[in-house]
């Protein structure tokens, strides 16, 4: 709309708006400048004035807002601009390792280690005994070799980096054999063939999507072959007429032909999940025992720690990785190493299911989850919300254990508009993430951390009946 089409009143209102300088002279604005700095406050005042001009031109109120209102809008703009976009949420979606929600929640010990190491200086690369430069490699790696009985270990930024480093350092310019059933995309752009291309290794595909035999691998080995790569298809499942040779047979073949067996295990399961009623997931230890030269996995999936990529295996295969220039580009920082070391400790002392949140959620008996669900539903019903409990399934997620689930007990909330409730809860403080099924809004207590229940119930009540 041009100026000409504005009403006389609107034109008058535009003229009545104060200038930025005028607003800056106000006492109330002085407080903003003190808290937020002059430059940002000026930006906020401009935004408030722009907003007022747009409203007047749009014919909304054709009165100019007063100074107090403009300063209040500027304050709201500043608060919104400085609110972190990365903030905690309550995961009531029943997906234990939810990649979009930051994967594994950290243990108390890992949090304490982050605080202790992050708040000051640390022995990241300093040897206290010798009083001189030390190696950052010692911290988590000693624990990893102790836990896995591998000869050597290396920690990098994430498992994508671990696989890239492994292929680059050990296979560049040579061939790597992989089954067609394992040319997988893990998500977030991690595709095995692309990583292979990036590493400079040449992909040699063998077998078919559903069946690959030992002889397929054997006949593909040439003088140019560096390794066989096995990628755990962690996020999907092929069922029916399928077969893949066991790792141990591939290890034997690799050894006999003088090539490496590299295993992208992915999930970082160091313990067996089958005692918790889940289908067995191949563990890191099983991969090493089967004879893989290197096993690569994530730190923040079933291991339950910070984002990290971990490589365990034979010293002769890990040493070249440590020396490769790419290792420097993907090295972990002190916070990662502090949290990872603290996360690994209970694996040595046998305390994992009690101390690591991911394992606590996996191991939590159904009757405990059901007791929470019952209590929450009662609390909501007492406030007039239509809630009941329901048998359901929680998932491990994070590309682990596809197609298997854990029995859980859900709180189901019946609303005229479940999608609306879900949106209100997402946008609340703290945000609550649930899921919708058959027009019911569902909350799974299994993934809600101890201490979050009160906040969650308050948020639900606020969204359902406007009570806080």
Ligand X SMILES: *Cc1c(COP(=O)(O)O)cnc(C)c1O
Interface residues with ligand X (CB under 6 A) are: 158-160, 163, 186, 190, 231-232, 234, 264, 266-267, 298, 309, 399
Residues 6+ apart with CB under 8 A from 6: 14, 57
Minimum CB distance to ligand X, residue 438 (Å): 31
For ligand X, which is the closer residue by CB, 62 or 300?
A: 300
Beta bridge partners of 263: 230, 295
Minimum CB distance to ligand X, residue 102 (Å): 12
Distance in angstroms (rounded) separating the CA atoms of residues 244 and 352: 31
Q: Which among 357, 342, 337 has a CA at the least distance from the CA of 153?
A: 337
Minimum CB distance to ligand X, residue 259 (Å): 21
For ligand X, which is the closer residue by CB, 297 or 376?
A: 297
Residues 6+ apart with CB under 8 A from 453: 372, 376, 445
CB-closest chain residue to ligand X? 266
Minimum CB distance to ligand X, residue 267 (Å): 6
Q: Which among 309, 326, 327, 325 has a CA at the least distance from the CA of 266?
A: 309
Nearest 5°: phi and psi at 293?
-75, -35
Distance in angstroms (rounded) separating the CA atoms of residues 334 and 4: 62
Q: What is the DSSP letter of 143?
A: H
For ligand X, which is the closer residue by CB, 77 or 297?
A: 297
Q: Which among 139, 180, 74, 165 has a CA at the least distance from the CA of 333?
A: 139
- Tokens, residue 152: 């050597």
Distance in angstroms (rounded) separating the CA atoms of residues 148 and 358: 19
- Tokens, residue 435: 């899921």
For ligand X, which is the closer residue by CB, 357 or 399?
A: 399
Minimum CB distance to ligand X, residue 191 (Å): 10
- Tokens, residue 42: 């000026």
For ligand X, which is the closer residue by CB, 199 or 234?
A: 234
For ligand X, which is the closer residue by CB, 231 or 317?
A: 231
For ligand X, which is the closer residue by CB, 18 or 309?
A: 309
Minimum CB distance to ligand X, residue 299 (Å): 7
Distance in angstroms (rounded) separating the CA atoms of residues 362 and 97: 10
Minimum CB distance to ligand X, residue 190 (Å): 5
Cβ proximity of 265 and 229 under 8 Å: no
Q: Which among 377, 384, 361 has a CA at the least distance from the CA of 457?
A: 377
Distance in angstroms (rounded) separating the CA atoms of residues 215 and 195: 25
Q: What is the DSSP letter of 243?
A: B
For ligand X, which is the closer residue by CB, 245 or 399?
A: 399
Quick count: other Cβ atoms within 10 Å of Cβ 134? 16
Minimum CB distance to ligand X, residue 268 (Å): 8
For ligand X, which is the closer residue by CB, 91 or 452?
A: 91
Cβ proximity of 262 and 293 under 8 Å: yes
Minimum CB distance to ligand X, residue 172 (Å): 19
For ligand X, which is the closer residue by CB, 167 or 410?
A: 167
Cβ proximity of 445 and 376 under 8 Å: yes
Minimum CB distance to ligand X, residue 192 (Å): 8
For ligand X, which is the closer residue by CB, 36 or 190?
A: 190
Q: Which among 440, 464, 318 has a CA at the least distance from the CA of 390?
A: 440
Helix and strand numbers (H, E) in the chain are 20, 18
Distance in angstroms (rounded) separating the CA atoms of residues 33 and 46: 14
Minimum CB distance to ligand X, residue 398 (Å): 7
């Amino acid at each position: 709309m041009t100026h000409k089409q504005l009403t006389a009143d609107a034109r008058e209102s535009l003229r009545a708006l104060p200038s930025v300088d005028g607003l800056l002279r106000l006492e109330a604005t002085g407080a903003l400048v003190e808290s937020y700095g002059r430059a940002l406050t000026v930006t906020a005042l401009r935004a408030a004035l722009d907003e007022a001009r747009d409203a007047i031109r749009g014919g909304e109120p054709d009165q100019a807002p007063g100074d107090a209102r403009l300063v209040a809008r500027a304050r709201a703009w500043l608060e919104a601009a400085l609110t972190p976009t990365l903030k905690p949420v309550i995961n009531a979606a029943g997906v234990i390792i939810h990649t979009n929600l930051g994967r594994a929640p950290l243990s108390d010990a890992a949090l304490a280690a982050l605080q202790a190491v992050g708040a000051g200086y640390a022995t990241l690369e300093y040897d206290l005994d010798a009083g001189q430069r030390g190696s950052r490699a010692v911290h988590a790696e000693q624990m990893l070799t102790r836990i896995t009985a591998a000869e050597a270990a290396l920690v990098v930024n994430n498992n994508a980096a671990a696989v890239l480093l492994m292929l680059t350092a050990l296979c560049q310019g040579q061939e790597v054999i992989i089954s067609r059933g394992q040319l997988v995309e893990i998500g977030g752009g991690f595709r095995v063939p692309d990583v292979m291309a990036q590493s400079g290794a040449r992909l040699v595909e063998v077998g078919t999507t559903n069946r690959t035999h030992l002889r397929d691998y054997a006949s593909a080995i040439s003088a140019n072959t560096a390794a066989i790569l096995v990628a755990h298809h962690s996020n999907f499942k092929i069922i029916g007429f399928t077969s893949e040779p066991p790792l141990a047979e591939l290890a034997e073949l690799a050894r006999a032909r003088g090539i490496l067996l590299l295993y992208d295990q992915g999930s970082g399961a160091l313990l067996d999940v089958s005692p918790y009623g889940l289908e067995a997931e191949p563990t890191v230890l099983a991969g090493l025992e089967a004879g893989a030269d290197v096993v690569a996995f994530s730190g923040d999936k079933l291991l339950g720690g910070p984002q990290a990529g971990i490589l365990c295996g034979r010293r002769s295969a890990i040493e070249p990785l440590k020396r490769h220039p790419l290792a420097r580009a993907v090295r972990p920082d002190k916070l990662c190493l502090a949290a990872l070391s603290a996360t690994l400790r209970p694996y040595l002392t046998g305390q994992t299911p009690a101390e690591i949140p991911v394992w606590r959620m996996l191991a939590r008996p159904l009757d405990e989850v059901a007791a929470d669900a019952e209590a929450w539903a009662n609390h909501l019903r007492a406030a007039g919300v239509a809630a009941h409990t329901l048998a359901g399934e929680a998932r491990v997620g994070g590309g682990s254990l596809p197609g298997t689930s854990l029995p859980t007990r859900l709180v189901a909330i019946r609303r005229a508009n479940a999608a609306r409730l879900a949106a209100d809860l997402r946008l609340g403080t703290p945000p609550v993430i649930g899921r919708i099924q058959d027009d019911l809004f569902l909350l799974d207590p299994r993934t809600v951390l101890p201490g979050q229940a009160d906040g969650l119930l308050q948020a639900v009540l606020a969204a359902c009946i406007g009570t806080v």
